[in-house]
Amino acid sequence: MEVLDHLVFSFGFTFAKPQDQNRYATVLEQLPRPLVDGTLLLDENAMTLAFTIDAPDRALQVRVEQTYLQLTLVKPLFFVRC
């Protein structure tokens, strides 16, 4: 999935294929540095993406949570790793 946040930068991330089509919560499998500890929650009304912007000093880390509402287009893209 590709995410574009005009306030920061665009980035991609991976997650396991959803099994439940009504509600899906998972830990993100890969995030680009300096992003860590990502989670994704999908349901029929919203998508919530959360992650931490890492820093050498723990006191400088920032936790970000964004909820996207009124999703108008969802195209399923599934990549198979070989």
Along the 82 residues of the chain, how does pLDDT read in single tens digits?
555 555 566 777 777 777 777 788 989 888 888 999 999 998 888 889 999 999 999 999 999 998 988 766 556 555 444 4
Q: What are phi and psi of 59, to 5 degrees?
A: -65, -20
Closest of 39, 44, 38 to residue 69, by C-alpha:
44
The span from the CA of 62 to the CA of 10, in Å, is 17
pTM: 0.71
Distance from C-alpha of 8 to C-alpha of 71, rounded to nearest angstrom: 21
Q: How many CA atoms lie within 13 A of 55 on its CB side?
A: 8
